[in-house]
């Protein structure tokens, strides 16, 4: 039977995607294989790792765009992205860009023109949403040799030929049905592709691992548990908790790497349930949750660890750590906790930054993990004190639960403070720039459900009065003195940052504004409305003698805090440059491809008709939930990774006395994330009825 109309065209497009568009010529320049030396000291023109360099600075020395000419910055090309949860970071090498789209879509483009060279999209299991929340998130890729290396939404790691997009190798890490979500891609450290994951409760302790794979072959080299157990000397920190109840200590962002010390620095998250009285008791530390781990890259062995806080509220600590070689001279006037015998004339090898949602800056000696200094940025009340001699953190007892049903005031909230939005460091100012949110919460401890484990907390999150209704803030903190150089606050949520040799700080917000600030004082030098939340990680690169800046948009989960801000939710990649770069540059020549043997595509107008509308009376709440809600809240209604459950004790603590009409009205203002009001009234009412019924309501 002949395939006609749009179906024929769709099959032709899919066939081209499956072959990786091998006939595409990616650039006039020959492809240069990427080595460890190139990754550890990249060409200023390239962006070869998640934060460009393995020290996680998010800094480029390019300075063609500077304070004097940045007001001339203009859009030179734009590319729509696949539908899904979008937080991508482009890679750039030799004038070619590689972008990680949602749901394992990788796109190669000519970096100057935006023309697509090839695409590769893996076939994924259709039921992933029943097991993982936002499995489609793909923050970054890695490049090594002639390979583009990516994490798989279904708990795989795989590599593509950088010139053709064809699959080179693929390795299964875990079973996604009893495994973990991999929202961050790999970094390359001495030829190894290093990945972590946010391990789901049903995966138990075996899912909570950091892994290393040979970047050339995909063969697993080592995997290290982030949960102390067995012969690990820190097994006793779990107070005898049975192994099957040790879960969800994830490492869901990327590591930093010191090639001289051969040490990886990776952070971890909360253990489940969050209130520790529900485990072995509040007196235990449950290593290695909410810690910085220093791992020997050759073996995966944990060389040292530092625990930032014993977490009772879901205040994860997996965020980027800066690696700096600098003088350590904290100012007692602004730095709250200081090691008493710091040598203020010595250059230390530091690991520093805001590693967790608390917004506290921690600076450690990265050779041995010894504490140097720490200070808060945003409002926080969970860290009461830090012993400067030992680095031991004491938690504020007023924020620690001791019984089910207890409600406490906690700052920041489980969404941060800091979160996945990446900070940046500039060697020009010796300053760290942190994108954060002003949020607190009333948090209630709920009964642990060991059949369907969750964080066992219910939170009502809000902007505290002290923030003057401003959600987003940038804190500029000097890395040497710990002093605040400046702060800059806005109503919208703050997103990821980039620093450059031109003295500039690039960053977007959840309202869709992409801005350039002066690193020295936070003065806004340029801005543009991109129409949707700036959820991607900005980069800069150079090709053809011109400097470009790239950033992407999508939808953001925190939009409910600023409901009056109206914008789109589209995933789009934008690239900017100065006027002399030109607009509309021609991309590489592509040979014509005939999509069918006959050279013609039959067309049947009957197949192009719109389907008949579904009557409101036939709307199924279960179907609406599966299509519009399960991607975030899961097929089991339990959420995870900061997404609240919509079934069980935590949900009932917040919504137990709510009518279907009230819940429907709320959902219409806030759901789906970034697209409140996009469903029909009948769909909102149907899904509200359904959610209440699965919670036992009449």
Phi, psi of 43 (to 5 degrees): -55, 135
- Per the prediction, the chain carries an average pLDDT of 90
Selection from 527, 504, 550 nearest residue 65 by Cα: 504
Selection from 105, 107, 94 nearest residue 47 by Cα: 94
pLDDT for the residue 14? 42
Range 36-46 average pLDDT? 98
Range 254-265 average pLDDT? 98
pLDDT band at 11 (very low <50, low <70, confident <90, very high): very low
User: Quick check: 567 pLDDT over 50?
Assistant: yes
pLDDT, tens digit, 9 for 90 and up, residues 123-165:
999 888 888 888 888 999 999 999 999 999 999 999 999 999 9
pLDDT for the residue 616? 45
pLDDT band at 664 (very low <50, low <70, confident <90, very high): confident
**Residue-wise over 549-562: b if at least 16 C-beta within 10 A, else e?**
bbbbbbbbbbbebb
User: Quick check: 28 pLDDT over 80?
Assistant: no
Euclidean distance between CA atoms 457 and 413, whole angstroms = 12
pLDDT for the residue 131? 86
pLDDT, tens digit, 9 for 90 and up, residues 172-199:
999 999 888 999 999 999 999 999 999 9
User: Quick check: 219 pLDDT over 90?
Assistant: yes
User: Quick check: 27 pLDDT over 90?
Assistant: no
SS (H, E, C) 245-291: HCCCCCCCCCCEEECCCCEEEEEECCCCCCCHHHCCCCCCCCCCCCE
pLDDT for the residue 602? 65
Pairing of strands 180-181, 198-199: antiparallel
State both tokens at 544: 């053809």
Sign of the CA dihedral running 517, 522, 527, 530? positive
User: Quick check: 281 pLDDT over 50?
Assistant: yes
pLDDT for the residue 12? 39
Of 180-194, 453-467, 550-564, which gets the smallest average pLDDT? 550-564
Euclidean distance between CA atoms 95 and 651, whole angstroms = 50
Selection from 293, 302, 272, 286 nearest residue 236 by Cα: 286
pLDDT for the residue 6? 36
Q: Which residues pair with 269 in a beta bridge?
A: none
pLDDT for the residue 615? 46
Q: What is the DSSP string of 521-567?
A: T--EEEEEE-SBB--SPPEEEEETTEEEEEEEEB--GGGGG-TT---
pLDDT, tens digit, 9 for 90 and up, residues 400-457:
999 999 999 999 999 999 999 999 999 999 999 999 999 999 999 999 999 889 899 9
């Amino acid at each position: 039977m002949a395939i006609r109309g749009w179906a024929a065209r769709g099959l032709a497009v899919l066939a081209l995607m499956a072959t990786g568009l091998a006939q595409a010529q990616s650039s006039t320049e020959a492809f240069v294989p990427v080595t460890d030396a190139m990754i550890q000291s990249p060409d200023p023109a390239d962006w070869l790792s998640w934060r460009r360099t393995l020290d996680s600075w998010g800094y480029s020395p390019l300075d063609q765009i500077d304070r004097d000419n940045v007001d001339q910055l203009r859009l030179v090309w734009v590319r729509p992205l696949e539908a899904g949860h979008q937080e991508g970071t482009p890679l750039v090498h030799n004038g070619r860009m590689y972008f990680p789209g949602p749901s394992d879509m990788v796109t190669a483009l000519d970096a100057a023109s935006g023309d697509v060279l090839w695409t590769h999209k893996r076939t994924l299991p259709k039921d992933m949403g029943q097991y993982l929340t936002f499995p489609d998130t793909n923050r970054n890729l890695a490049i090594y040799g002639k390979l583009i290396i990516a994490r798989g939404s279904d708990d795989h790691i795989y590599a593509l030929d950088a010139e053709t997009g064809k699959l080179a190798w693929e390795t299964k890490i875990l079973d996604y049905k009893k495994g973990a979500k991999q929202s961050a891609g790999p970094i390359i450290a001495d030829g190894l592709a290093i990945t972590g994951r946010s391990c789901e409760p049903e995966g138990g302790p075996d899912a909570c691992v950091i892994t290393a794979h040979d970047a050339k072959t995909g063969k697993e080299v080592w995997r290290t548990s982030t949960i102390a157990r067995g012969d690990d000397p820190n097994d006793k920190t779990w107070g005898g908790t049975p192994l099957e109840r040790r879960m969800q200590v994830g490492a869901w962002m990327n590591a930093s790497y010191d090639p001289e010390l051969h040490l990886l620095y990776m952070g971890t998250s909360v253990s489940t349930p969050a209130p520790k009285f529900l485990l072995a008791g509040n007196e235990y530390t449950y290593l290695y949750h909410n810690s910085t781990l220093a791992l020997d890259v050759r073996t995966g062995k944990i060389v040292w660890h530092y625990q930032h806080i014993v977490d009772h509220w879901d205040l994860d600590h997996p965020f980027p750590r800066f690696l700096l070689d600098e003088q350590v001279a904290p100012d007692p006037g602004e730095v709250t906790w200081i090691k008493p015998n710091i040598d203020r004339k010595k250059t230390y090898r530091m690991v520093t930054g805001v590693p967790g949602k608390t917004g506290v800056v921690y600076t450690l000696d990265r050779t041995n993990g010894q504490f140097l200094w720490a200070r808060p940025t945003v409002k926080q009340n969970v860290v009461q004190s830090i012993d400067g001699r030992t680095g031991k953190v004491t938690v504020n007892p007023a924020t620690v639960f001791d019984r089910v049903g207890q409600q406490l005031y906690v700052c920041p909230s489980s969404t941060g403070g800091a979160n996945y939005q990446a900070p940046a460091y500039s060697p020009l100012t010796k300053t760290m720039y942190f994108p954060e949110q002003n949020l607190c919460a009333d948090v209630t401890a709920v009964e642990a459900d060991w059949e369907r484990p969750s964080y066992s907390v219910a939170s009502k999150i809000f902007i505290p009065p002290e923030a003057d209704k401003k959600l987003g803030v940038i804190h500029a903190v000097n890395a040497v003195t710990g002093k605040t150089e400046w702060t800059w606050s806005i109503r919208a949520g703050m997103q990821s940052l980039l620093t450059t040799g031109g003295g500039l700080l690039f960053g977007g917000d959840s309202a869709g504004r992409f801005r350039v600030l002066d690193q020295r004082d936070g003065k806004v030098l340029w801005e543009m409305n991109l129409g949707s939340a700036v959820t991607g990680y900005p980069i800069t690169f150079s090709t053809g003698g011109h400097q470009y800046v790239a950033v992407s948009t999508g939808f953001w989960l925190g939009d409910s805090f600023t409901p009056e801000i109206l914008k789109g939710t589209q995933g789009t990649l934008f690239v900017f440059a100065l006027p002399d770069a030109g607009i509309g540059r021609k991309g590489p020549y592509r040979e014509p491809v005939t999509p069918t043997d006959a050279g013609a595509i039959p067309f049947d107008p009957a197949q192009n008709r719109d389907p008949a509308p579904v009557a409101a009376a036939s709307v199924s709440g279960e179907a609406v939930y599966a299509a519009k809600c399960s991607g975030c809240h899961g097929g089991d209604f339990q959420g995870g990774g900061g997404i609240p459950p919509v079934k069980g004790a935590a949900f009932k603590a917040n919504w137990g006395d709510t009518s279907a009409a009230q819940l429907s009205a709320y959902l219409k203002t806030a759901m789906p994330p970034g697209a409140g009001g996009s469903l029909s009234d009948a769909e909102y009412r149907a899904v509200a009825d359904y959610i209440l019924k699965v919670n036992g309501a009449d």
